[in-house]
């Protein structure tokens, strides 16, 4: 197995173009596990840790540009205000050691339906930036996940960044695990209220072959929610929202939980996330007034 260590993005893109089966590696928290367990034998690894641009983050045209190689720890430390759902999700990733190494870009590359980053990226309508020797392009996260572990990334492309919209409303993330830390999601849920566009975003993890949205739930809530005053939705609205989130799931029974439990837990998390959001939203409305 070859180990390529480019020092510029151009070199990395050339390498990926010349050897499309080469696997990019950043923190190694997914890739090394697959290699060690003999689940994958790529012809080459492309080490991206020496490319400065991938490790950078900052504002860009009213959004946050998050380099694909920024660790979860940095997301938690620096972006809990500007990307609250993603920061909450990052906090729930594995252990401190893994959060120091693991990256959102790696999460997108592996595209496991259990990946913590995906629900917040879906809920907040983030954008994924891809690059190849042919140039750069941007794909909305909502169009990125195609089927089980398959994404819109073409084989010669590298994931270079994620663009996170400036939040204009409360964002939530919650994840079920059968222990209180260091656990793969049994299922997870993210919610974002956008007070400017008056839209609702959702993201569901470990609820189907890909990360999912609950579009019917989003439409329902965006119509029912009191965007002006932020009054608490009625109990029946809250319950209906939970049901619609659960109905969007396509879960399976596996060693981590049953499909029925996953649906149940999604409805509970959706209801709670909504009530937390309403509380936060009212605080925001009060501040503005």
Partner 1 sequence: MAATIRTVTDLASTTEDGVGASPRRPDGTLKVTGEFAYSSDLWMEDMLWGATLRSPHPHAEILGIDITEAVKVPGVHAVLTHEDVPGEKRYGLEHRDQPVLAFGKVRYEGEPVAVVAADHPETARRAMERIRVDYGVLEPVVDSRRAALDPDCPRVHEEGTLPENPEHNPRGNRLRYQPIRTGAFSEVAGSQERERRVLERLRAEADVVVSSEYEVGMQDQAFLGPESGMAVPAEDGGVDLYVATQWLHVDQRQIAPALGLPQEKVRLTLAGVGGAFGAREDLSMQIHACLLALRTGRPVKFVYDREESFYGHVHRHPARMRYEHGARSDGTLLYATAEIIVDGGAYASATPAVVGVASSLGIGPYEVPHVLLDAYGVYTNNPPCGAMRGFGAVQACFAYESQMDRLAEELGVHPVDLRIKNAMSQGSRIITGQEIDMPLPMAEMLRICRDLPMPPAREDLADPSDPRILPGGVAGTTRGEGVVRGVGYGLGLKNLCFSEGFDDYSTARVRLEVSGGEPVVLVHTAAAEVGQGLVTVKGQIARTELGVEKVVIAPSDTQVGSAGSSSASRQSYMTGGAVKVACASVRAEVFSLARERGLVPDDLPDTDLSLVGGKLVSATAGALVSLVDLLGEASDGGTVVERTREYHHRPTEMLDPRLGQGASHTQFGMCVHRAVVDVDVELGLVKVVALDAVQDVGRILHPQQLLGQIQGGSAQGLGLALMEEIQVRDGRIRNPSFTDYLIPTILDTPPMRIEVLEHPDPHSPYGLRGAGEPPTLSSTPAIVAAVRAATGRALTHAPVRPEDIVGIEL
Reference 30, options 85, 105, 86, 91; nearest CA is 105
Least distance between partner 1 and beta carbon 214 (Å) = 17
Q: Count of residues binding partner 1 (CB under 8 A)?
A: 35
Q: Interface mask (CB under 8 A) for partner 1, residues 127-166, using x and -? A: ----------------------------------------
For the CB of residue 276, give the shortest distance to partner 1 in the complex, in Å. Answer: 7
What are φ and ψ of residue 201, in 5° steps?
-120, 145
Q: Which of 31, 162, 257, 274 binds partner 1 (CB under 8 A)?
A: 257
If residue 269 lies in a helix (H) or strand (E), which one and from where to where?
helix 259-288
Q: Is 227 in the site for partner 1 (CB under 8 A)?
A: no
Q: Which is nearer to partner 1, 89 or 163 (CB)?
A: 89
Interactions with partner 1, residue window 35-64 (CB under 8 A): 36-38
Beta strand spans in the chain (E): 2-4, 23-25, 44-47, 57-60, 63-67, 127-132, 135-140, 145-147, 150-151, 158-165, 171-176, 187-194, 199-205
For 110, 156, 212, 226, the CA distances from 243, given in Å and listed in that order, are 30, 41, 15, 20
Q: Name which of residues 268 to 287 contact partner 1 (CB under 8 A).
A: 268-269, 272, 275-276
CA distance 92 to 110: 18
Alpha carbon separation from 89 to 79, 164, 270, 289 (Å, rounded)? 12, 14, 15, 31
Check binding of 265 to partner 1 (CB under 8 A): yes
For partner 1, which is the closer residue by CB, 91 or 198?
91
CB of 4 to partner 1, least distance (A): 21
For position 256 contacting partner 1 by CB under 8 A, the verdict is: yes
Q: Tokens standing for 246?
A: 């659960």
Residue 98 interacts with partner 1 (CB under 8 A)? no
34 binds partner 1 (CB under 8 A): no
Binding mask 167-206 for partner 1 (x = CB under 8 A): ------xxxxxxxxxxxxxx-x------------------
The distance between the two most distant Cα atoms of the chain, rounded to a whole number of Å, is: 61
Which parts of this chain interact with partner 1 (CB under 8 A)? 36-38, 88, 91-92, 173-186, 188, 254-258, 260-261, 264-265, 268-269, 272, 275-276
């Amino acid at each position: 197995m070859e180990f390529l260590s480019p020092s510029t993005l151009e070199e990395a893109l050339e390498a990926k173009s010349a050897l499309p089966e080469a696997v990019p590696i950043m923190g190694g928290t997914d890739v090394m596990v697959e290699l060690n367990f003999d689940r994958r034998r790529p012809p080459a690894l492309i080490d991206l840790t020496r490319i400065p641009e991938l490790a950078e983050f900052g504002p860009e045209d009213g959004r946050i540009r998050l380099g694909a190689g920024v660790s979860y720890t940095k997301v938690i430390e620096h972006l809990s205000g500007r990307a609250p759902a993603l920061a909450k999700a990052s906090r729930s990733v594995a252990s401190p050691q893994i959060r120091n190494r693991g990256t959102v870009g790696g999460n997108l590359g592996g595209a496991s339906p259990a990946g913590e980053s995906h629900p917040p990226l879906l809920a907040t309508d983030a954008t994924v930036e891809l690059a190849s020797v042919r140039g750069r392009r941007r794909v909305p996260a909502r169009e990125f996940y195609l089927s089980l572990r398959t994404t819109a990334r073409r084989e010669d492309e590298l994931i270079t960044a994620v663009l996170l919209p400036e939040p204009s409303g409360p964002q939530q993330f919650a994840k079920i695990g059968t222990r209180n830390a260091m656990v793969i999601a049994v299922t997870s849920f993210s919610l974002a209220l956008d007070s400017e566009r008056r839209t609702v975003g959702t993201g569901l993890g470990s609820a189907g072959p890909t990360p999912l949205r609950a579009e019917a739930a989003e439409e329902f809530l965006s119509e029912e929610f009191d965007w002006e005053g932020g009054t608490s939705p009625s109990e029946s609205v809250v319950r209906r929202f939970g049901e619609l989130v659960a109905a969007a799931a396509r879960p399976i029974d596996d060693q981590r939980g049953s499909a029925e439990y996953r649906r149940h837990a999604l409805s509970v998390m959706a209801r709670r996330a909504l009530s937390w959001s309403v509380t936060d939203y009212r605080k925001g409305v009060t501040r503005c007034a």
